[in-house]
């Protein structure tokens, strides 16, 4: 494998890994250590022959899990490690080489991502201890959106909240929006104006003009914006006070309901999974049908709003588990934007799923399905940084 980069995404109870070569045709060694910290912790992955394997992880802290992951790399030696870091605050506008100073700066943004950044950093620390001589790079979900202009990132709140506490819109899913918009540029042969819709368990939209994010639907936290699997997306900001006053809910309860019990799951009363909902809706489940309807309308509404950030609209790109695999959702989103002049090619749309890339319009602004590749993007940014250092 040529100059492979090890990509690590360390969460609170899982570590995703992928060994990514610089040749797109080389299969990746990839997998997931999960249920860390609980009984039944295990490592699942794919080897170079495409076979899957599962191993149990007896002492399942991140360091032990990372050692087990190293054992699955089949003797390949990464040239660098790229870490996914959720929040880079305002300091990190691109990927950076990790040193003690960068670790301290990521620690300083902990208040903005209390669930994610500490877990990401545990992975960084354990990996640095295992590979003290290997360059390690932090790639931030927020960095791609640091090009937002102030009118897109400021909330209409007292200035001191921004100045003293960093309360502003940051945006997330940056590696995904960066990857699919760059791919759309390459496929269309232009530096375009794209609206990208990352629709997975987490969902966000982004307006990208000539390779730069100009606005995005997520904000201070990944809760803002679209309806997601279990997250509510936008609600009236007065809702929190209302729930506290009228129902006596604590902050923790409000947080839990908006993040874990809402979205597709809350609306349908059935599931956060689009496949289950499509099936149930087809069988007459009213909640599932409503959940899909609200989901699609909100995607369209968000795309229409974000179109204000583009001087010209060249097209829309769908990605993420739903964006890549649910033709009916794409059809509904397109139908909910009648004034955009979109013309869907229904046959190509129906045939484009399961990791296939394709153009699905029959005229008007372009419509693309482009599989996301967050690991590939993290590896690319890591490699670019290492090459710059050696130039
Ligand atoms: P994550 O954000 O966790 O990475 P994914 O991008 O894998 O999640 O997206 C998960 C979502 O994609 C789920 O709602 C799942 O139902 C949906 N999905 C995956 N395959 C299909 C399919 N064939 N049809 C409809 N939805 C699908």
Answer yes or no: pTM beyond 0.85: yes
pLDDT in tens, 149-208: 999 999 999 999 999 999 999 999 999 999 999 999 999 999 999 999 999 999 999 999
Which of 322, 326, 327 for a ligand 1 pocket mutation test, highest count of atoms within 8 Å of Cβ?
A: 322
Say yes or no: 238 and 305 in one domain: yes
Rounded to the nearest angstrom, the distance between the alpha carbon of 171 and the centre of ligand 1 is 21
Sheet containing strand 212-216, edge to edge, reads 212-216, 203-209, 193-199, 315-319, 366-369, 358-359
Confidence of residue 61 (pLDDT cuts 50, 70, 90): confident
375 CA → ligand 1 middle, Å? 17
What secondary structure does DSSP assign to 72-86, as a single string? TSTT---SEEEEEES
Q: Do 237 and 367 share a domain, yes or no?
A: yes
Q: Write the residue with the smallest CA distance to atom 3 of ligand 1.
A: 201
Look at residue 234 and tell me if it is in a domain: yes
- Residue 227 included in any domain: yes
Distance CA 124, CA 126 (A): 6
Crossing angle of helices 286-306 and 327-335, in 10° steps, is 60
Q: Are residues 104 and 235 in the same domain?
A: no
Give the count of domains, the chain.
Answer: 2
Whether the pLDDT of residue 1 is over 70: the answer is no
68 and 201 co-located in one domain: no
The Å distance, Cα 320 to ligand 1 centre, comes to 7
Q: What's residue 128's pLDDT?
A: 93
- Kindly state whether residue 390 falls inside one of the protein's structural domains: no
Distance CA 44, CA 301 (A): 39
Question: Is there a domain that residue 354 lies in?
Answer: yes
Report CA torsion sign: 365, 263, 90, 161.
positive
Q: Does 145 reside within a domain?
A: no
Of the three residues 80, 108, 140, the one that is the final residue of a domain is: 140
Both 87 and 210 in one domain: the answer is no
Boundary residue ending a domain (140, 173, 202): 140
Selection from 370, 366, 311, 309 nearest residue 340 by Cα: 366
Per DSSP, what are the bridge partners of residue 16? Answer: 9, 32
Nearest CA to ligand 1 atom 19: 321
Residue 56 has phi, psi (to 5 degrees) of -85, 155
Q: Is residue 387 part of a domain?
A: no
The yes-or-no answer on residue 141 being catalytic is: yes
Q: What's the CA-to-centroid distance between 167 and ligand 1, angstroms?
A: 31
- Which value, in Å, is the radius of gyration of the alpha carbons in the chain? 21
Residue 87 sits in the same domain as residue 204:
no
Query: Does residue 223 sit in the same domain as residue 133?
Result: no
* Count of CB atoms situated within 10 Å of the CB of 86: 22
Residue-wise pLDDT for 67-97, tens only, equals 999 888 888 889 999 999 999 999 999 999 9
Which among 22, 101, 141, 236 is annotated as catalytic? 141
In this structure, the residue with its CA closest to atom 22 of ligand 1 is 325
Per the CB < 8 A criterion, the answer to whether 36 and 14 are in contact is yes
End-to-end CA separation in angstroms for the chain: 23
DSSP string, 20-41: E-SSTTSPPEEEEEESTTSTT-
Give the lowest-confidence range in 30-44, 159-173, 202-216, 262-276. Answer: 30-44
Residues 135 and 194 in one domain: no
- Mark which of 108, 140, 172 sits at the end of a domain: 140
Going from the Cα of 126 to the center of ligand 1, the distance in angstroms, rounded, reads 31
Q: Are residues 207 and 120 located together in one domain of the fold? A: no
> pLDDT of 238-258, one tens digit each?
999 999 999 999 999 999 999
Atom number of ligand 1 nearest to Cα 323: 12
Question: How far is Cα of residue 88 from the mean position of the Cα atoms in its chain?
Answer: 14
CATH number at residue 355: 3.30.420.40
Could you tell which of 275, 369, 377 is best to mutate to test the pocket of ligand 1, judged by most ligand atoms within 8 Å of the CB? Answer: 275
> Considering the domain boundaries, does residue 385 fall inside one?
no
Instruction: Give me the sheet containing 42-46, strands edge to edge.
Output: 52-56, 42-46, 29-34, 15-20, 5-10, 80-85, 136-140, 96-97
**Residues 86-126: tens digit of each pLDDT:** 999 999 999 999 999 999 999 999 888 888 899 999 999 99
State which ligand 1 atom lies nearest to the alpha carbon of 201: 2
Q: Give the residues surrounding ligand 1 with Cβ less than 6 Å away.
A: 200-202, 229, 273-275, 278, 320-322, 325-326, 353
Q: What average pLDDT does the segment 319-341 reach?
A: 98
The answer to whether residue 245 sits within a structural domain is yes
Residue 10, pLDDT > 70, answer: yes
Q: Tell which atom from ligand 1 comes closest to the C-alpha of 229.
A: 14
- 200 and 136 in a common domain: no
Contacts made by residues 188-191, CB under 8 angstroms, sequence distance 24+: 188/314, 188/315, 188/366, 190/314
Owning domain of residue 81: 5-140
Same domain, 79 and 218: no
Q: Are residues 320 and 224 in the same domain?
A: yes
User: Which long-range CB contacts under 8 A does 274-279 form with residues at least 24 apart?
Assistant: 274/321, 274/322, 274/326, 274/329, 278/326, 278/328
């Amino acid at each position: 494998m040529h100059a492979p980069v090890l990509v690590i995404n360390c969460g609170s109870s899982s570590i995703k890994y992928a060994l990514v070569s610089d040749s797109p045709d080389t299969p990746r060694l990839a997998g997931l250590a999960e249920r860390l910290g609980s009984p039944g912790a295990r490592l699942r992955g794919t080897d170079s022959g495409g076979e899957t394997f599962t191993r149990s992880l007896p002492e399942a802290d991140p360091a032990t899990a990372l050692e087990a992951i190293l054992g699955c790399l089949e003797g390949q030696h990464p040239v660098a490690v790229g870490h996914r870091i959720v929040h880079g605050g305002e300091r990190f506008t691109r990927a950076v080489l990790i040193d003690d100073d960068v670790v301290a700066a990521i620690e300083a943004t902990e208040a903005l991502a209390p669930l994610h950044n500490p877990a990401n950093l545990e992975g960084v620390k354990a990996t640095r201890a295992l590979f003290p001589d290997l360059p390690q790079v932090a790639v931030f979900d927020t960095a791609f959106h640091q090009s937002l202009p102030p009118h897109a990132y400021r909330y209409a709140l007292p200035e001191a909240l921004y100045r003293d506490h960093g309360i502003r819109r940051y945006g997330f899913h940056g590696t995904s929006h960066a990857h699919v918009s760059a791919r759309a540029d390459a496929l269309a042969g232009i530096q375009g104006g794209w609206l990208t819709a990352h629709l997975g368990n987490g969902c966000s939209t982004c307006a990208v003009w000539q390779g730069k994010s100009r606005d995005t639907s997520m904000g201070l936290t990944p809760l803002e914006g679209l309806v997601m699997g279990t997250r509510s997306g936008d609600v009236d900001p007065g809702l929190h006070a209302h729930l506290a006053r009228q129902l006596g809910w604590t902050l923790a309860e409000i947080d839990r309901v908006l993040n874990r019990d809402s979205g597709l799951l809350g609306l349908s009363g059935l599931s956060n999974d689009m496949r289950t909902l499509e099936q149930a809706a087809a069988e007459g489940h009213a909640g599932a049908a409503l959940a899909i309807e609200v989901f699609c309308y909100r995607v369209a509404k968000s795309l229409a709003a974000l179109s204000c950030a583009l001087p010209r609209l060249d097209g829309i790109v769908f990605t993420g588990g739903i964006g890549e695999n649910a033709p009916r959702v794409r059809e509904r989103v397109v139908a909910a934007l009648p004034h955009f002049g979109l013309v869907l090619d229904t046959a190509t749309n129906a045939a484009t799923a399961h990791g296939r890339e394709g153009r699905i319009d029959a005229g008007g602004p372009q419509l693309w399905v482009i599989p996301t590749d967050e690991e590939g993007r993290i590896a690319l940014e890591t490699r670019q940084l290492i090459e710059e250092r050696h130039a």
